[in-house]
Amino acid sequence: MSIAAYDTEIAYAKINLALHVRRRRADGYHDIESVFAFAEDGDVLSAAARCDGILTLAISGPFAAGLDSQSDNLVLQAGRALQKHGPAGAGADIHLVKNLPVAAGIGGGSADAAATLRLLARLWSVDTDMQHIAAALGSDVPACLPSRTLFGTGRGEEIDFREIAGLSGSPLLLVNPGKGLSTGPVFAGWDRQDRGVLAAKNLVDLASDGRNDLYPSAALLVPEIDDVLRCLSVQPGVTLARMSGSGATCFALFESVVARDAAASALPKQWWRMATRIRSS
Which positions are catalytic?
14, 140
Q: Is 241 left (phi over 0), alpha (psi -120 to 50) or beta?
A: beta
Which residues neighbour 156 within 8 Å (Cβ) at sequence distance 6 or greater?
Answer: 32, 34, 36, 139, 140, 142, 143
C-beta of residue 248 within 8 angstroms of C-beta of residue 268? no
For residue 7, the cross-strand partners are 47
Q: Taking the CA of residue 160 as centre, how many other CA atoms within 13 Å lie in the half-sphere pointing to its CB? A: 10
Task: Please give the distance of CA 213 from its chain centroid, rounded to a whole number.
Answer: 17
Strand bridging mode 150-153 / 158-161: antiparallel
Q: Taking the CA of residue 271 as centre, how many other CA atoms within 13 Å lie in the half-sphere pointing to its CB? A: 26
